[in-house]
Amino acid sequence: MLPVVSLAQQRTLGTLAEWNAFPSSGARTRGISTVIGLPHDGLFARDPHSAVAKQLRVELTGGLLDGPVYTSIYRNLLGIRLQEADEYAAFNTGFIVYHDDFGDYSTNEPIMDGTANLTYLLAAMSGMRRSSARGR
């Protein structure tokens, strides 16, 4: 169980929450959640770039995805080969690009630092909720 969070820690968590809210809400990827497997009955990446998961034929859940990236950066990346038709081609016409495709290591790869931040944030928020529930 997490300890009661001080006011200074709450401010830090607030900043961290704001930083995480935009990417993990899915708003940056055309309504697709950037958290793999969440919401369970919603829209999330189905084909993240993970060679281990692909080889073992396991479904990933809970990891935060990278992406989208600026089109100018994407065009200069080496080794990206989409495995399927680009289901977001109609949206990938501006200054950013996103693909839900195993072949795109840039916009569709689970990232450790983002996943760690999101895990910390959710754990801290869970602890805060339990603390406020006890105070009722």
Within a domain: residue 39? Answer: yes
Cα–Cα–Cα angle for 121, 33, 62, rounded to 5 degrees: 50
| Domain ranges, residue 31 | 7-130
As a whole number of Å, the end-to-end CA separation of the chain is 18
User: pLDDT above 90 covers what percent of the chain?
Assistant: 18
Distance between CA 61 and CA 52 in Å, rounded? 14
Number of structural domains (the chain) is 1
pLDDT score recorded for residue 131: 60
Which of the residues in the chain have pLDDT under 70? 1-30, 128-136
Place of tokens 């869970």: 126
Q: Which of 28, 12, 90, 103 is nearest to 64 (CA)?
A: 28
pLDDT score recorded for residue 5: 46
Within a domain: residue 1? Answer: no
